[in-house]
């Protein structure tokens, strides 16, 4: 199976890695990924709605916010990985796309 490959402006081959999953349990809702995404792939959602029964508030937790990020428009991802590069909790998983 071949992998979809693009070219940078300088002609260097580049393999885009598209967002596949987002670990909402680890997400602290900081919004950094939301701010850098050029294609509106992400949205903020209420933490208790997103996690349901998996949500347990812990006093020692990093979670200062009542929101977490969610993937809302997966088909618009361009594979730039900007979200992963700014995520302090490494919540994103990416994969290449077969051509």
Give the side-chain half-sphere CA count within 13 A for 69: 29
**What's the confidence (pLDDT) of residue 13?**
95
Looking only at the bridges linking them, the beta strands covering 42-46 and 18-22 are unpaired
Torsion of CA 30, 73, 70, 14, to 10 degrees: -60
Q: Which of 66, 64, 83, 78 is nearest to 22 (CA)?
A: 83
**What's the confidence (pLDDT) of residue 78?**
95
CATH of domain 6-95: 3.30.70.20
pLDDT at 27 over 80: yes
34-92 pLDDT, tens digit per residue, is 999 999 999 999 988 888 765 555 555 555 568 999 999 999 999 999 999 999 999 99
pTM of the model: 0.79
Alpha carbon of 5 to those of 13, 17, 39: distances in Å?
A: 6, 10, 20
**What's the confidence (pLDDT) of residue 73?**
95
Ranges of each domain in the chain: 6-95
More confident residue, 98 or 7: 7
């Amino acid at each position: 199976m071949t992998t979809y490959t693009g070219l940078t402006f300088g002609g260097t081959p580049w393999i885009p890695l598209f967002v596949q999953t987002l670990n909402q349990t680890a997400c602290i809702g900081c919004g950094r990924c939301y701010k850098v995404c050029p294609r509106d792939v992400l949205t903020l959602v209420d933490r208790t709605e997103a996690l349901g029964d998996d949500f347990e508030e812990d006093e020692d937790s990093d979670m200062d916010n009542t929101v977490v990020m969610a993937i809302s428009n997966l088909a618009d991802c361009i594979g730039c990985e900007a979200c992963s590069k700014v995520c302090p909790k490494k919540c994103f998983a990416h994969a290449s796309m077969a051509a």
